[in-house]
């Protein structure tokens, strides 16, 4: 990576920084704000966000989405993925995007199945 080839815009170009240092501070502020939102939501747990969406509480979906947003900015700006060539980016991110949701999906479905076995089966507690 040459010295001055940083891409300096985030939010699809909506926010453009003058130098790499400024961009880092900008991303720091963004990450801190997101963390603050998460902590506040985690403490208050607003009643209105407790509805179930796709088998999980809406609040939990919000937490997971905010986490992925944070992960994106850490990887893209702190780890400089934004400045790498396109296919390097793809070879790093795509395996994770395929394998992690897949693993999470099968394990959570299986976990839910076992939960139901406990619920209406005769096994009482731990195994």
Residues in contact with other proteins by the rule CB under 8 A: 1, 3, 20-21, 24-25, 28, 31-32, 35-36, 38-39, 42-43, 50, 60, 63-64, 66-67, 70-71, 74-75, 77-80, 84-85, 87-88, 91-92, 95-96, 99-100, 103-104, 107-108, 110-112, 114-115, 118, 124-126
The distance of closest approach from Cβ of residue 108 to other proteins in the complex, given in angstroms and rounded to an integer, is 5
Q: Which residues pair with 16 in a beta bridge?
A: 9
Q: Which two tokens stand for residue 55?
A: 């088998």
Q: Tell me the closest approach of the beta carbon of residue 14 to other proteins, in angstroms.
A: 22
Find the angle CA(122)-CA(124)-CA(127) to the nearest 5 degrees. 110
Report in angstroms how near the CB of residue 15 gets to other proteins at its nearest: 17
Asked if residues 3 and 20 have their Cβ atoms less than 8 Å apart, the reply is: no
Long-range contacts of 50-56 (CB under 8 A, 24+ apart): 55/112
């Amino acid at each position: 990576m040459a010295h001055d080839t940083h891409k300096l815009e985030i939010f699809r170009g909506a926010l453009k920084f003058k130098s790499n240092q400024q961009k880092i501070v900008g991303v720091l502020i963004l990450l801190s704000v997101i963390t603050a939102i998460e902590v506040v939501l985690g403490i208050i747990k607003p009643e209105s966000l407790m509805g179930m969406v796709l088998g999980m509480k809406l609040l939990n979906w919000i937490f997971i989405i905010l986490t992925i947003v944070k992960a994106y900015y850490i990887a893209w700006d702190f780890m400089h993925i934004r400045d790498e060539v396109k296919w390097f980016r793809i070879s790093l991110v795509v395996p994770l995007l395929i394998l992690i949701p897949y693993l999470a999906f099968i394990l959570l479905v299986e976990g839910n199945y076992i939960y139901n076995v406990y619920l209406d089966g005769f096994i009482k507690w731990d195994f």
